[in-house]
Amino acid sequence: MVKKKWKRNLMLMSAITGLGFTTLYPGLTTKTQASGLPDQPLPKEESVSVVQLEVPNQKAKDKLLELGIDLAHRASEHSGILEVDAVVTPTELAMLKTFGIKVKDTLITEKEWKARTAERQTAVQQEANLTAAEDSVKILRANYYTNQSETFLYVEAKTSAGAAASTALTATWTENGVEKSATLERFEDANQYMYHFLEIPVSSIPSSVKITSNLGGFAVSSVTEWLGVDKPGSPKKHYVKDFVDHYMAPAELYERANKLAKEFPDLVEIIDMPNKTNGYRRLAQATVGSSTNSSVVITSKVWGHEGGNDISVEFRNPEISDSPLKVTIDGKKILVDLATDSSAKVTSTAKQVVDALNSDAKELVSATTYRGIAGAETVSPATATLTDGLKAPASVSRDPFTVKAIRIGKHRDGSKPGVLGYAQEHAREWVTPLVTIETAERLLRNYAYNGETKKLVDNLDIFLVPTVNPDGANYSFYDYNMQRKNMTNYCGQDKSDQGFRNSWGVDINRNHSVGSAFDGYVGASTTNCTSSTYAGPSETSEPEAKNIVWLADKFSNIKFAMNIHSYGGYFMWSPGAYDANRTTLPRPTAGEEAFYWAASDTILNDIQDHRGTVILPSRTGPVPDVLYSAAGNSADYLWYAKGIYAWDFEVGADLWNKDRQRWEAVGFQPAFSEGHEEAMEFANGLIGMIKVAYNNSKDHQPPSSKAVPGNGKFSGPVEVSFETSEAATIYYTLDGRRPTFESEKIKLSGIREDAETLKVDKTTTINWFAVDAAGNIEKNYNPLSKGNNFNSVTLTIK
Ligand SMILES: [Zn+2]
């Protein structure tokens, strides 16, 4: 597992500070390149770590952005000093120090990443071993008992594959001739699988119970009366959860989704989205040479795994005088006989070798000088084998990926309101897919026995996309943990040697068409292909972004969406971007904003229920009010272009360290024990949003509203405010016309403030109506027809 980022500071430092290489690297050889810069040894790879930086002032913060430092989502401010988390190399840190930016804390080092990956590999292997074959199921007890109020069925069962959280046991039994079923709860103590159990009220005593595993094993037992006189207290509502026990790579997520589709064919289907990713694949490359002005970058014409990796090159001194430069191809072997002078000394420059390869080996490779440098120095004899550098085992597909959505609902015909949860636009955010998988399992496995779950699944059309960016995710799991973007390289030949391989790609959450960097919004780069927030060559250029657009187009019943990221513990909504003047995209109306806040209440309470995590008020609200500007993000697209209520989660709230008396960041890839808790609490939150959608769908009650003050005579100017019975948008006119959807809307009076008031300083009639988030219009007024049952007050100013 390599998690390194090539030193990309040489040119950066020179560009930013105006210093030449000689100043920074005295003592190096000073053979001059055509650009006037000395020939340099090729830069070496450095490891990266996630650190918390202390940024003393706005100027230093701007510097950070200007340098394109890879920032995490989390940021906070204490007494004027800004703290941001960033992914940096030691060289970048040294440079930041010169701008007064200091490291406050090191959050994750390369060593810890390696430990995470090893932990995951062990779990994957363990699961594979456990679930490879049919399991054996043993029923430990099957009892009934009756307390003061009800009769209960209680079952304990054990499966040989119980240590894997994906193993699920289902009980079936008969009550009064009707077959019932429910998923058993898995009980683990101190990471040790104990057994599965079930305790639920029954209307008649079943004679037997059958336990079936999703791996195929089963067992049957008769149900006997519990002999003990001690009756348990009032049992909890039966609700099963906890179906993830390690970080899951894309193939595993889809395998799990397919398994669920097979087990619950009536409730779930898998949707193949039409835009395939570019694939976890690369061209094979080699940089032959040891210095910038004498190196040749060679790139295969075919993908590494399709033959590029088999290509080898040899630069050879033919050891004869006055020999010409000559390229010979033998199968996948390219032999370059370098030109020599009268004393058999090599005279071919890097540029000459590049030209020869492009002419005589063009079937196999293309060649360039190093990063646009002239290549004026003579090359040295050397051999190299081209490689795509990809480290995932061959079992991880290199083909373009079909991104999948799990569609859950009893009626999946578009007739029910749609809800969308999508995760892992950013590859390194490993917890986020687990939130969707856990949510899917809970919805399906609790359907049969939990009334609340059944209600949601029967009345909604739920779409879950576990990983939007599977190529980047594979790269993050197998090659470079801190991968954020997809793997598509849009850099020209100057930045396409493998030294940049961890910096290529498009930020999927900056590639959308609303409030984009192409339109002048802040928080993404349109020019720097290696920036961590590179917006791509054009709006919606990437298949990963196109798929979300396709989903929203194809399923126009989708009304609510959650874009799941990590980390920091944020809960946010539109607007998500502002321009260079800090003018944001249009703010939601006061009524829409009120709805966003009201929904937060449900969702954040559900998150808190798991282990008490509080999503702080300072991290709840429109994106630019609590975090930063994110030009071209997907939630803004869904809200502004598709009218979908769209939120962003940043899972992984800071943890309070009691000993140190401070909040500590959890990072992108916390130890699984923490990642697991985050997945559990944010699955609560995602189901909370699904509940909000359900309640919205059942809201057929029009809002009511009143103007304060109302009709009357006033001696001077009056501030008029509106009171509504629920979160609702007010459309109004002040010139006596009928109010319509084209009329003015009551806005917020300011950022994080209440609704505005209307200042009336001359006699005015206000006509208005209110619309709630479900689209119900006050008094069933129809703004599109000719009716007049809108509200009206006249304020007479003397
Ligand atoms: Zn993210």
Instruction: State the Cα–Cα distance between residues 733 and 717, nearest whole angstrom.
Output: 18
Spacing, Cα 693 to ligand 1 middle (Å): 24
Band of pLDDT at residue 228, cut at 50, 70 and 90 = very low
Q: Specify the DSSP element, H or E, that contains 663.
A: strand 662-664
| Ligand 1 center–CA 35 separation, angstroms | 39
> How many Å lie between the centroid of ligand 1 and the Cα of residue 727?
30
Ligand 1 geometric centre to CA of 598 (Å): 25
Query: What is the whole-number distance in angstroms between the Cα of residue 87 and the centre of ligand 1?
Result: 13
Distance between Cα 439 and ligand 1 center (Å): 19
The DSSP H or E segment spanning 106 is strand 102-108
Confidence of residue 84 (pLDDT cuts 50, 70, 90): confident
Locate 767 and state its tokens. 């006509």
Ligand 1 centroid to Cα of residue 632, in Å, is: 13
Question: What is the whole-number distance in angstroms between the Cα of residue 567 and the centre of ligand 1?
Answer: 8
**Does residue 25 have a pLDDT over 50?**
no
545: CA distance to ligand 1 center in Å? 14
State the distance from the centre of ligand 1 to the C-alpha of 634, rounded, in angstroms: 11
Amino acid at 271: I
Segment of 6-15, 185-194, 293-302, 582-591 carrying the highest mean pLDDT: 293-302
Q: pLDDT tens, 106-145? A: 888 878 888 888 889 898 998 899 998 999 999 988 888 8
Query: Separation of 749 CA from ligand 1 center, angstroms?
Result: 30
- Mean predicted confidence (pLDDT) in 252-281: 97
Ligand 1 centroid from CA 428, angstroms: 8
Query: The whole model's pTM is what?
Result: 0.86
Residue 473 alpha carbon to ligand 1 centre in Å: 12
Question: What residues contact residue 482 under an 8 Å CB cut-off, 6+ apart?
Answer: 3, 5, 48, 50, 70, 87, 428, 476, 502, 668
pLDDT tens sequence across 439-477? 999 999 999 989 999 999 999 999 999 999 999 999 999
Query: What is the 403 CA–ligand 1 centroid distance (Å)?
Result: 18
Q: Is the pLDDT of residue 599 over 70?
A: yes
Query: Is pLDDT at 482 greater than 90 in this prediction?
Result: yes
More confident residue, 163 or 551: 551
Q: Is the pLDDT of residue 683 over 70?
A: yes
Q: How many angstroms is it from 564 CA to the middle of ligand 1?
A: 8
Residue 650 CA to ligand 1 center (angstroms) comes to: 7
Token pair, residue 699, equals: 């809201």
Q: What is the pLDDT of residues 408-433, one digit of tens each?
A: 999 999 999 999 999 999 999 999 99
CB 42 within 8 A of CB 295: yes
Residue 194 banded pLDDT, cuts 50, 70, 90: confident
- Spatial strand order of the sheet with 791-797 comes to 712-714, 791-797, 764-772, 728-733, 744-745
Place of tokens 């074959």: 133
CA of 508 to the centre of ligand 1 (A): 9
Task: Determine how many CB atoms are found less than 10 A away from the CB of residue 28.
Answer: 14
CA of 544 to the centre of ligand 1 (A): 14
Asked whether 706 and 770 are in contact (CB, 8 A), the reply is no
204: Cα separation from own chain's centroid: 47
Q: Judge contact between 193 and 162, C-beta under 8 A.
A: yes
Distance 426 CA to ligand 1 centre (A): 5
Nearest partner of 403 among 543, 586, 608, 243, judged by Cα: 543
Examine the pLDDT at 622 and tell me if it is beyond 70.
yes
pLDDT > 60? residue 685: yes
Contact 740, 731 (CB under 8 A): yes
Assess contact for 494 and 520: CB atoms under 8 A.
no
In this structure, what token pair is assigned to residue 121? 């590999």
Task: Provide Rg for the chain, Cα atoms.
Answer: 31
C-alpha 708 to ligand 1 mean position (Å): 43
Rounded CA separation 289/380 (Å): 7
Greater confidence, 152 or 416?
Answer: 416
Residue 466 Cα to ligand 1 midpoint, Å, equals 14
My answer on whether omega of the bond before 206 falls inside 30° of 0, hence cis, is: no
Ligand 1 centre distance from Cα of residue 114 (Å): 21
Percent of the chain scoring above 70 in pLDDT: 94
Residue 568 Cα to ligand 1 midpoint, Å, equals: 10
| CA 477 to centroid of ligand 1, rounded, Å | 16
Q: Are 104 and 83 in contact (CB under 8 A)?
A: yes
> What tokens were used for 646?
């769209």
Give the Å distance between the CA of 485 and the centre of ligand 1: 9
In the reported structure, the alpha carbon of residue 74 is separated from the centroid of ligand 1 by a whole-number distance in angstroms of 10
Q: How far is the CA of 104 from the centre of ligand 1 (A)?
A: 22
Residue given tokens 């006055």 in the structure block:
322
Q: How much distance in Å is there from the Cα of 651 to the middle of ligand 1?
A: 10
Q: How much distance in Å is there from the Cα of 39 to the middle of ligand 1?
A: 39
Percent of the chain's residues with pLDDT above 90: 70
Residue 423 and residue 433 in contact, taking contact as beta carbons nearer than 8 Å: yes
Contacts of 322-330 with C-beta under 8 Å, sequence gap 24+, read 325/352, 325/353, 325/356, 326/356, 327/356, 327/357, 327/359, 327/360, 327/361, 329/360, 329/361, 329/363, 329/364
- pLDDT (0 to 100) of residue 640: 97
Determine the residue type at 44: K
Tens digits of per-residue pLDDT, 514-563?
999 999 999 999 999 999 999 999 999 999 999 999 999 999 999 999 99
CA–CA separation, 600 vs 206, rounded Å?
Answer: 43
Q: How far is the CA of 111 from the centre of ligand 1 (A)?
A: 23
Long-range contacts of 329-337, Cβ-Cβ distance < 8 Å, separation of 24 or more = 329/360, 329/361, 329/363, 329/364, 332/307, 332/364, 334/361, 334/364, 334/365
Q: How many helices (H) and strands (E) does the chain have?
A: 16, 40
Whether 352 has a pLDDT exceeding 60, the answer reads yes
Going from the Cα of 664 to the center of ligand 1, the distance in angstroms, rounded, reads 19
| Count of other CB atoms within 10 angstroms of residue 674 | 15
Find the 231 Cα to ligand 1 centroid distance in Å: 49
For residue 711, how far is its CA from the centre of ligand 1 (angstroms)? 51
Would the pLDDT of 630 be above 80? Answer: yes
| Range ranked top by mean pLDDT from 59-73, 152-166, 216-230, 612-626 | 152-166
Alpha carbon of 751 to ligand 1 centroid (Å): 24
Characterize the bridge pairing of strands 333-337 and 570-573. unpaired
DSSP notation for 733-798: ESSSPPP-TTSEE--BSSTT--B--EEE-S-EEEEEEEEETT--BGGG--TTSS---SEEEEEEE-
pLDDT of residue 59: 79
CB atoms within 10 A of CB 103: 15
Distance 512 CA to ligand 1 centre (A): 14
13 CA distance to ligand 1 middle (Å): 27
Phi and psi at residue 341, in whole multiples of 5°? -95, -170
Specify whether the CB–CB gap between 632 and 514 falls below 8 A: yes
- CA 196 / ligand 1 centre spacing (Å): 35
Closest of 621, 798, 783, 617 to residue 718, by C-alpha: 798
Ligand 1 centroid to Cα of residue 509, in Å, is 8
Strand stretches in 317-452, DSSP E: 326-330, 333-337, 365-369, 382-385, 404-408, 418-423
Residue pair 467/250 in contact by the 8 Å Cβ criterion: yes
Distance from residue 73's CA to the centre of ligand 1 (Å): 7
502, 483 contact by CB (below 8 A): yes
Rounded to 5 degrees, what are φ and ψ at 721? -120, 165
Please tell me the distance from the alpha carbon of residue 229 to that of residue 215, in angstroms, as a whole number.
37
The reported pLDDT for the residue numbered 4 is 39
- What's the gap in Å between 425 CA and the centre of ligand 1? 6
Instruction: Identify the pLDDT of residue 21.
Output: 27
Whether residue 127 contacts residue 208, with contact meaning beta carbons closer than 8 Å, is answered with no
pLDDT for 41 beyond 50:
yes
User: From the CA of 746, how far away is ligand 1's center (Å)?
Assistant: 33
Report the distance separating Cα 244 and Cα 248, nearest Å.
9
Determine the distance separating the centroid of ligand 1 and the alpha carbon of 712, expressed in angstroms.
Answer: 53
The rounded Å distance from CA 427 to ligand 1 centre is 8
CA 599–ligand 1 middle distance (angstroms): 22
pLDDT score of 3 more than 60 = no
**Residue 40: what pLDDT?**
87
CA of 8 to the centre of ligand 1 (A): 23
- Beta-carbon neighbour count of residue 659 at 10 Å? 5
Q: How far is the CA of 10 from the centre of ligand 1 (A)?
A: 28
- Tell me the CA–centroid distance for residue 423 and ligand 1, in Å: 9
Ligand 1 center to 565 CA (angstroms): 4
Q: How far is the CA of 675 from the centre of ligand 1 (A)?
A: 15
Cα 635 to ligand 1 centre (Å): 12
Separation of 58 CA from ligand 1 center, angstroms? 23
CA of 680 to the centre of ligand 1 (A): 19
Q: Please tell me the distance between residue 571's alpha carbon and the centre of ligand 1 in angstroms.
A: 13
CA dist 778 and 707 (Å) reads 14
**How far is the centre of ligand 1, averaged over its atoms, from the C-alpha of 529 (Å)?**
18
Classify 239 as helix, strand or coil.
coil
Question: Which pair of structure tokens corresponds to residue 534?
Answer: 């590179």
Q: 199: closest CA among 151, 246, 162?
A: 151
Q: Tell me how crowded residue 786 is: count the other CB atoms within 10 A of its CB.
A: 6
Quick one: which H or E segment has residue 299?
strand 296-303
Lowest mean pLDDT among 239-248, 484-493, 743-752: 743-752
Where would I find the beta strands (DSSP E) of 160-255? Answer: 169-175, 178-183, 185-189, 192-202, 208-213, 218-222, 224-225
